[in-house]
A and B are shown apart, each in its own frame.
Chain A
């Protein structure tokens, strides 16, 4: 397992491996170097679980490992697509998966035109980023103007305007956990009064029943990205469930106690099966 920080999840994975007599070796990505042009490759076991919290570290390392012939979960393609909200939206749309209406633009002028077409309120999200960081609610033309002005003086990534309709939903969303071809658990992320429902921002995790609709949609969303381990985020819109994000390198600190599901153990089982394939 490659990591760059030991969180609750990594400790739980270590414990699960112990329980299952799996020889899990811990590799701190920050302590190694990788010989890109050479052929002297280290023994890194049968399969590698990528758990770096830094997205850039994770994708560069996975690119190297996969190209050199190592099996990595999640794979490079899956990590790139799920790590970028636009790429994810495109994959979801291509596969006919219900997702909120989304617009892409590169200047504030073009963004206003997009908002005229889509309507307010809307949400502006960075295409890369997690835990609800830098999400902005655009309630009207004036709030959009202020936020776009800020964006124009930020790093170029933030001048990629990914605009999404504000879905009419209850004050919660659903995170389902997909491991391979199974939906193993789901939680409601219930808002603590904030319009964002990230547990990193204090939303409460509650067990959510895995209905047929949720199971089908989660599996279709995961397949649209490629086989792997995902957290699929859905919203309960008046028209039914809509998928708005698919996350790699999932966190499950709040989900395990809320659902009683042994997600780290299931990840270990999945890796064992995949290593043997």
Chain B
């Protein structure tokens, strides 16, 4: 997978799950993993909401 911002290569951990956040090692942008067919893809991660937390 390539970063949607800077095109650097992003690799997901082996045990990655849809909904997990990955960060581009080059530019630091955050992306959410989602499943497309059998493969994991990335899309821009949601920005922290005011109601997020414990």
Q: Taking beta carbons and an 8 Å cutoff, which residues of A are in contact with B?
A: 3-7, 10-11, 14, 26, 28, 53-57, 128-131, 133, 231, 247-251
Residue from the list A6, A55, A248 in contact with B51, Cβ < 8 A = A55
Size bracket of the B interface: 10 to 19
Q: Given that A5-B32, A54-B49 are contacting pairs, would A248 and B54 also be in contact in the complex, using a CB cutoff of 8 Å? A: yes
A130 touches B15 (CB 8 A): no
Interface status of B21 (Cβ within 8 A of chain A): yes
A251 touches B54 (CB 8 A): yes
Interface status of B36 (Cβ within 8 A of chain A): no
Interface status of B19 (Cβ within 8 A of chain A): yes
How far does the Cβ of B52 sit from chain A's closest Cβ, in whole Å? 5
How far does the Cβ of A122 sit from chain B's closest Cβ, in whole Å? 22
Given contacts A5-B32, A131-B52, 11 further A-B contacts (CB under 8 A): A5-B46, A6-B21, A14-B17, A54-B51, A55-B51, A55-B53, A57-B51, A130-B53, A131-B53, A247-B54, A248-B54
List of B residues within 8 angstroms of A26 by Cβ: 17, 19
Interface status of B18 (Cβ within 8 A of chain A): yes
List of A residues within 8 angstroms of B46 by Cβ: 5
Residue from the list A28, A54, A57, A248 in contact with B19, Cβ < 8 A = A28
Q: How many Å lie between the Cα of A250 and that of B53 in the bound state?
A: 9
Q: How many Å lie between the Cα of A195 and that of B15 in the bound state?
A: 37
How far does the Cβ of A148 sit from chain B's closest Cβ, in whole Å? 19
List B residues 36-54 near A (Cβ within 8 Å): 46, 49-54
Counted as pairs of residues, one from A and one from B, with CB atoms less than 8 Å apart, the total is 54
Pick the 6 closest A-B CB pairs, nearest first: A130-B53, A247-B54, A6-B19, A6-B20, A55-B51, A6-B17
Q: How many Å lie between the Cα of A55 and that of B52 in the bound state?
A: 6
Q: How many Å lie between the Cα of A5 and that of B18 in the bound state?
A: 8
How far does the Cβ of A263 sit from chain B's closest Cβ, in whole Å? 13
How far does the Cβ of A107 sit from chain B's closest Cβ, in whole Å? 22
With both beta carbons as reference points, the residue of chain B lying nearest to A28 in the complex is identified as B19
A4 touches B53 (CB 8 A): no
How far does the Cβ of B16 sit from chain A's closest Cβ, in whole Å? 8
